[in-house]
Amino acid sequence: MKKGNHLFYQIVCIVLGILLILPVIYAVNISFMPQDEILTTKLHFFPNVFGYLENYKIVFMHTRILRFMWNSLIMAGVSSVVRVIIASLAAFSFSFFEYKGKKILFALVVGSMIIPADVLVVQNYFTTAELGLINTYLGMMVVFFISGINIFVMRQNFMSYSISLKEAAQVDGCTNFKFYRKILMPSNIPVITTVFISSFVGTWNTYLWPLLVTNTDAMRTAQVAVTMLNNNEGSNYGVGAVMAAAVVILVPSVVVFLLFQRKIVGGVMAGAVKG
Amino acid sequence: MKKLLALLLCGIMVLGTAACGSAEGGKSNGETSQEADGTGSGQSSEGTQEVVFWHSFSGATEAALTSIINEYNEGRGKEKGIHVELVYQGYEGTDKVMLAYQTKDYENAPDINVGLTSTIPAVMDMGWTVNVEEFMNDGESEVTKDTFYEPLQQACTYEGQMVAVPFSNSIPLLYYNKDMLKEAGFEKAPETMDELTQYVEALTVKEGGETSRYGLNMQVKRYQLVEFCVSQKDVSFFGDNQGGREAPMTKIVAGEDGTLKAFLEKLQALLDTGGYKYVEDNINEEFAQGLSAMAIMSSSRMGTLDELMPGKYMTAYLPKVNAEDAGGAAVGGSCLNIFNRDNDERVKAAWDVVQYCVSPESQYTFSTASGYIPVNVGCEELDEMKAYYEKNPQYKVALDQMKDANPLSQEPLDLTYNEINGIITEIMLEFCQGNMSVDETVQKIVEQCNAALDEYHSVNG
């Protein structure tokens, strides 16, 4: 790439990055502002004094946010791992084996991607209630265990994987599951990480389903804490408290992303097959 | 890599174990109910009758309700062997009850739910909803129809019966900035829409072609439109069958009786001043910041405004469309519904809890924390309530307006509440933007709302 182009590319990326991060920074700043500082007609980007913690006190005193975050962590963590396992096994089957009805099955998986989740709510609730899973973590997670788009993404990734590697492994006496476990998965870390992060963030941000299948305050998720503080007729904790709650529940998503983002670009198949 | 994977799997195993453990713990923590003894009777081993109460309140309102319930559990509940479990459900509470009913999931439903009065027809359609009039007619009941103000009795009446219990009710008010009106030379709030237009003209401030202060802020959605229609004449209804209270509503009548047109004509005059802001962004905050001199909002916003601009505002009755109108504004808000989950003992316990929640003392706690109108007629006679009203006259305005209104002046039970709200919001925005005439707007609102009602009736028989 020419030097000029490179510089232009960098500038565009930086500007885009700033545009994307600005609302988040503004939200963080608001969480440190008292009400009268937020409610001004002029743009007030930075708080006058950093260290105003009343909004955070409201969050921790008026909601059980830590308990809610723990619930969310269990729900998002377990369902993301299960999703990775199920999606990778399904994708393994779709990309490395030939059997009758494979194309139809794959078409069904892809077809499931166009069904909006909202239309399934009643039926899913019915099934979950019939299984006796209301008010349980399993009930909160079960609908997130399988995702058509994750299977699709992994299958596409596995399709580009060299079939000769599998054949070579088989010649050496490697079983199918051993190949999946010892060779395929470790060499596909980027896609696993991508699926895990998107699944974790997606499930972490879910509001309606966990609210539907739980009936006790102890089982609520982090997103509910924000709505509990949100402007409600008759009472008002203010925008600052809502932003403080949003900032607090943003932390785990950011941590997960920071922990795993290196793996997205880091794990390439370099050197897997020689010649 | 292996290390990371191993670590991750270990972590997930721990979480998974916690998941199972806590899920089971959650059941027993509930102590409650169905899961505790497996019978669905809701009786714990000590013989305490459990009552599940779903609500949608947050902030100070939730704190007030929690204190009422805690008092009940510690006092009267303990004596009678009843324990209430309060559960926050957000605004999805009524939808969840319906979902549980549709899926016959009796075990995971509440005994009491706070639901909008406009959802009464849909809630009563469910076979398990208790008609509370039967309890109120029982000679031993401490709560009867007369416990409540007449407009509130009517608000909870469906097909001639008072089927639900008023609980968190509010009424639209005109909020005005005391200093701004004084500066403009006005001694009192406007009483009619003609006066309102004059006030808006005088209170609007323009600087270099930009409006720096609006005279009035109010977005006309279903709530506002209905209020201005039903408050006209001696009594008016938005829909047929007395707005759906005598029998299910099948069409809009505000078009044929002229109330809708009369309101739109007055609104046009307001729009022509250029000082009326017809969209709501942050109406509370903008009013508090002095960006608008007046605003029309529900009385339940007073708690919020007391925090944003203590002492700087006052409230007044909703301006009349025509000077001779005597209908008055309609109360809105939520009521308490009781459900019978195949257990009469639970229903009796739930009724006891409801009676406690609407007692004068409980209503004092609830009303002063939230700004909702106290529903019990005995509440305003309490010494502490009298003192409160003396100190906060703006709250008394809400109560007086409700008492002065014709009890039949009510929001409609319009069956397709959300759809009708969407239709009215969209069409009124077009009207305010100057894209439609008064007659076109009346016609479009009536046609589209009627189509929505027709569709509802064709699907639901």
**How many angstroms separate the CA of residue B261 from the nearest CA in chain A?**
30
- Tell if the CB–CB gap between A81 and B18 is shorter than 8 Å: no
Q: Which two tokens stand for residue B121?
A: 């027809």
Best of A204, A212, A236 to disrupt the B interface by mutation (most B CBs within 10 Å)?
A: A236
Q: SS3 string of A216-252? A: CHHHCCHHHHHHHHCCECCECCCHHHHHHHHHHHHHH
CB within 8 A of B422, min separation 6: which ones?
none
Q: Give the class (CATH, top level) of B46-170+333-381.
A: alpha beta
A25/B248 Cα distance (integer angstroms): 51
Query: Pairing relation of β-strands B332-338 and B112-116?
Result: antiparallel
Best mutation target, A233, A264, A269, to test chain B (most B CBs within 10 A): A233
A77 touches chain B (CB under 8 A): yes
Joined tokens for residue B65:
């309700």
Q: Do domains B46-170+333-381 and B172-329+414-460 have the same CATH topology?
A: yes
CA distance B89 to chain A (A): 7
| CATH architecture group of domain A64-266 | Orthogonal Bundle (1.10)
- Every domain of chain B and the residues it spans: 46-170+333-381, 172-329+414-460
Question: Do B85 and A234 lie within an 8 Å CB cutoff?
Answer: no
From B20, B103, B284, residue closest to A129, measured CB to CB? B103
Distance set, CA B146 to CA A139, A140, B139, B196, B333 (Å):
45, 45, 13, 36, 19
The mean of the pLDDT values for chain A is 86
Question: Do residues B176 and B294 touch, judged by C-beta distance below 8 A?
Answer: yes
Alpha-carbon gap: A122 to the closest alpha carbon of chain B (Å)? 7
Matching residue, tokens 């994977």: B5
Q: Closest Cα partner for B298 from B265, B334, B326? A: B334
DSSP state of B170: E
Q: How far is CA B49 from CA B42, B78, B83, in A?
A: 6, 10, 6
pLDDT for B278 equals 96
Is A236 in Cβ contact with B304 (below 8 Å)? yes
Looking at CA atoms only, how far is residue A243 from chain B in angstroms? 15
Residue A272: C-alpha distances to residues A92, A183, A187, A193, B143 (Å): 18, 9, 8, 19, 79
Cβ contacts of A267 on chain B, cutoff 8 Å: 1
In the CATH scheme, what is the code of domain B172-329+414-460?
Answer: 3.40.190.10
Residue with tokens 């409540």: B148
Query: What stretch of H or E contains B166?
Result: strand B165-170
Each domain of chain A, given as residue ranges in start order, spans: 64-266
Residue type, B300: S
Total Cβ atoms within 10 A of residue A52: 15
B111 secondary structure, DSSP code? S
pLDDT score for A269: 45
**Under an 8 A CB cutoff, do B307 and A40 touch?**
no
What tens digit of pLDDT does each residue of B205-258 get?
998 888 889 999 999 999 999 999 999 999 999 999 999 998 899 999 999 999
Pairwise CB contact (< 8 Å): A233 & B90: no
Check CB contact of A268 with chain B, cutoff 8 Å. no
Cβ separation B108–A189 shorter than 8 A: no
Q: Tokens standing for B176?
A: 């005005």
Chain A / chain B CB contacts < 8 angstroms = 144
Distances (CA, A) of B295 to B176, B278, B279, B379, B410: 7, 11, 11, 28, 22
Measured between alpha carbons, how far is B422 from B67 in angstroms, rounded to an integer?
36
Interface of A with B in 49-68 (CB under 8 A): 62
Mean pLDDT per block of 10 residues along chain B (461 residues) reads 53 50 38 38 70 88 92 96 91 86 86 92 92 92 95 94 95 96 95 97 90 94 96 95 92 96 97 95 87 93 85 96 95 94 93 97 92 94 96 95 95 90 96 96 97 93 73
- Alpha-carbon separation of residue B394 from B116, B220, B295, B389, B414 (angstroms): 24, 23, 14, 8, 31
Ranges of residues in chain A whose predicted pLDDT is under 50: 267-275
Residue A163, pLDDT score: 81
Residues of B in contact with A209 (CB under 8 A): none
